[in-house]
Structure 1
């Protein structure tokens, strides 16, 4: 007999759409989930949704620290470059539906780039990471995105541009960097976030946002592909959000 998975952590249960970091650079500016997605999530049939998320960017910008801060709530001050690709699976529950993100942490070193690129295919979301205290890493963001998009359909991938090491950037430099980052995010149609893996600032809010938007896109895609089936056949609901559709959780981002 197979062992059932443990319950999803309380801070991974999402009943309302978490807010964007800044309205100036948001993938969606709406306040809630798509009504079609909400209706689909009221079905009672079995189903499990998994989305692939790849994390790319220059070596040393903090990709691994970002993922570890969210998945393990830890920060390792000892720098260790990722060799090839590392992988984390993080479980959520969105609108009562089991949902998992496969977080692919790719190497930023040039000699491992070809290895990492073989894992880009089939992504539902791409997180391009740069260092808020390093202009060069932002300049390279477009190149990383181009590499990641070669094996993916631009119309079906959500893009996020994330500035790390917010705590290390001088306020004046941070303001300048954010202006450039928002300009780039608008150009490439990505959602911009600034975070600190060291302090944890905005990290949880960011990943909840990624999970929510990716979940919504995944359900809408499945509904479109299976429009001859009842929406309820696609998802399986739990009771965690039954009484919270109209009430934003206090733990959600503000």
Structure 2
């Protein structure tokens, strides 16, 4: 019997959500990978949908809005009088992607320097890293490089999806935001991350962003499962072929002995 909560109706993903901007996107394709769609249709997604939980860590400076961002999506609330996260906290969100249940575990980590060592112990094993900065604070954007470096110490860069997220977009003037977006997109390209700008206060782009994270994480997990199952099949073929050769050789030997 499953102990996971049921999937809410507003957490169903039928099509690949599009990126915030094509200039800084992890993938510019419009649809899920064809192999992933076929695997979902044939119910051959391996552990994805049954036991797999995708770990997502959210990092960034103090007061950039990490907790508010998560709470806006998970609880649809906004509290401007928040209390700074001590160590780590996490939320579990259930999705249904292409008909397959999928879970994201969102780890909200402390931005204060004194809690950094505690939080960093939870970085390991992340499938996605969300690096958050305040679009009204240039220094917090500059600090994202260090947050990326800290997160990658505990993870394999080749297997982690990276997202650079600017918060508090509602507090920025169009001219001010336009300039920082140019800098953020350029930095995202250097990081090989996908850039998004959101507002936890108004909810702008928050749902779209987390649906994008869930969808790309789901796709990456299913493709990894397909690679593993493909490797097992290849191994089985080699083993069976080897055994067949041995049987054939033994048969030839018996025939040779009989003719002598």
TM-score by length of 2: 0.85
**Counterparts in 2 of 1:235-250, with a 5 A limit?**
none
What SS does structure 2 have at the residue aligned with 1:19? coil
Q: Which runs of 4+ in 1 moved over 4 A?
A: 2-6
Q: CA deviation at 1:31?
A: 0.1
Does residue 192 of structure 2 align to residue 207 of structure 1? no
| Alpha-carbon separation, structure 2, partners of 1:77 and 1:4 | 33
Structure 2 match to 1:99 = 102
Is 2:187 the partner of 1:168? Answer: no
- Name stretches of at least 5 consecutive residues in structure 2 with no aligned partner: 234-260
| SS state at 1:52 partner | strand
Tell me if 1:132 matches 2:131.
Answer: no
* Aligned residue in 1 for 2:8: 9
Instruction: Give 1:172 deviation, angstroms.
Output: 1.1
Q: With CA pairs under 8 Å and 6+ residues apart, which has the higher RCO, 1 or 2?
A: 1
Question: Does 2:180 correspond to 1:181?
Answer: no
- Aligned runs of 1:117-156 on 2, under 5 Å? 117-156=120-159
38 and 142 in structure 1: CA distance in 2 versus 1, 3 angstrom threshold = same
* Secondary structure at 2:117 match in 1: helix
State the Cα distance separating 1:229 from its structure 2 match: 5.8
The equivalent residue for 1:18 is 17
| Root mean square deviation of aligned Cα | 1.4
Match of 1:30 in 2: 29
Larger radius of gyration: 2
Q: For residue 17 of structure 2, give the secondary structure of its aligned residue in structure 1.
A: coil
Provide closer, same or farther for how the CA distance between residues 3 and 144 of structure 1 changes in structure 2, counting only shifts above 3 A.
closer
Separation in 2 of the partners of 1:44 and 1:180?
Answer: 43
Question: What CA distance in whole angstroms lies between the structure 2 residues aligned with 1:3 and 1:35?
Answer: 29
Deviations 1:218-238 (A, max 9, x none): 1111111221568xxxxxxxx
The gaps in structure 1 that reach 5 residues or longer are 231-254
SS of 1:122's equivalent?
coil
The Cα of 1:8 is off from its aligned counterpart by 1.2
The question of 1:62 aligning with 2:65 is answered yes
- Cα 1:118–1:5, aligned 2, differ >3 Å: closer, same or farther? closer
| Maintained 8 Å contact 2:95/2:101 | yes
Q: 1:157 to 1:174 in 2, by over 3 A?
A: same
